[in-house]
């Protein structure tokens, strides 16, 4: 983990361009963002008015999935592509679900700015004995997993809840996501859970929405995080055939909805799909 002074310098040096992590934070109601991030976000919202609700859907799914993982007996969490610790982050949800405060969380991101913010924010909200943030790249699986194994909070010999939430739409097929997921699944102990979600372009309500989703991808081509979308069938392969917890791979609002779930009455409008699978 970088130190506090280096974290501040990294934040200050990033303010000349939008940060994908801070844009997401803005859309879900966090407070770690700046004018340059908000301006980009509002440009996107003009073309796709529900983009904020789509991001909130991903965040709400994450919270419900973490609570389910706790109910399933998991006590350690590895969150790859975690972005900023913000509204409803993993360690807070896990601690709420386990008053015994025996869960452990490792946040991983390859964006220096995300790690910098994590260092600053975790200092205020986390238990340093149980919650860490490290730098590693999802696209470099061997190095990433070596860092997980070397961390002070995760025992890779025991079941892990591996969280890859709202990340796969930033991994295009030419980056070989199948190999990446194969590698990570192989490293997990039996009984581990895999939490996956991403945006989908399946079944747009009309031609305008179909074009708006294409425009969204075009916008993100100008950022450091070019994106793609997948159908349910294209996405399901990432679970590697592992048994899915009920209700399977679904639109995220249909996955154990609660009283706060946006799009609960019309899950397919959320543009987000997700599921949780267990390693046999």
Helical segments of 111-236, H only? 112-125, 141-150, 177-187, 207-220, 232-236
Report mean pLDDT in 10-residue bins for the chain, 280 residues.
Answer: 52 65 87 88 94 96 98 98 82 96 95 76 84 94 98 97 97 97 98 98 90 90 84 97 98 98 96 98
Instruction: For residue 198, list its beta bridge partners.
Output: 273
Cβ burial 169-205 (10 Å sphere, 16+ → b, else e): bbbeeeeebeebbeebbebbeeebbbbbbbbbbbebe
Tell me which H or E stretch contains 274: strand 272-278
Q: What is the pLDDT of residue 236?
A: 98
Tokens of residue 96, six digits: 């709420």
CB-CB neighbours of 125 under 10 Å: 12
Q: DSSP of 79-106, one letter per residue?
A: EET-----TT-HHHHHHHH-TT---EEE
Q: What is the pLDDT of residue 90?
A: 95
Output the pTM of the full model.
Answer: 0.92
Q: What is the pLDDT of residue 119?
A: 77
Q: What is the pLDDT of residue 15?
A: 63
């Amino acid at each position: 983990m970088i130190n506090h002074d280096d974290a501040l310098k990294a934040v200050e040096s990033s303010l000349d361009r939008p940060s994908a992590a801070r844009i997401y934070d803005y859309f879900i109601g966090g407070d770690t963002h700046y004018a340059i991030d908000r301006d980009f976000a509002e440009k996107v919202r003009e073309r796709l008015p529900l983009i904020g609700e789509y991001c909130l859907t991903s965040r709400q799914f994450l919270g419900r999935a973490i609570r389910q993982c706790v109910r399933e007996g998991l006590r350690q969490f590895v969150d790859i592509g975690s972005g900023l610790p913000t509204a409803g982050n993993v360690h807070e949800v896990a601690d709420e679900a386990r008053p015994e405060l025996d869960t452990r969380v490792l946040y991983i991101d390859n964006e220096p700015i995300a790690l910098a913010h994590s260092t600053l924010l975790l200092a205020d909200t986390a238990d340093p004995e149980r919650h860490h943030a490290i730098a590693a790249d999802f696209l470099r699986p061997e190095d990433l997993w070596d860092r997980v194994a070397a961390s002070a909070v995760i025992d890779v010999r025991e079941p892990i809840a591996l969280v890859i939430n709202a990340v796969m739409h930033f991994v295009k097929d030419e980056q070989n996501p199948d190999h990446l997921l194969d590698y990570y699944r192989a490293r997990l102990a039996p009984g581990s859970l895999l939490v996956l979600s991403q945006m989908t372009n399946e079944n747009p309500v009309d031609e305008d929405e179909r074009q708006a989703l294409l425009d969204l991808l075009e916008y993100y081509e100008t950022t450091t995080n070019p994106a793609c979308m997948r159908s349910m069938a294209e996405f399901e392969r990432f679970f590697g055939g592992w048994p899915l917890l009920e209700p399977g791979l679904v639109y995220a609002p249909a996955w154990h909805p609660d009283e706060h779930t946006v799009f609960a009455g019309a899950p397919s409008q959320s543009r987000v799909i997700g599921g949780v699978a267990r390693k046999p």
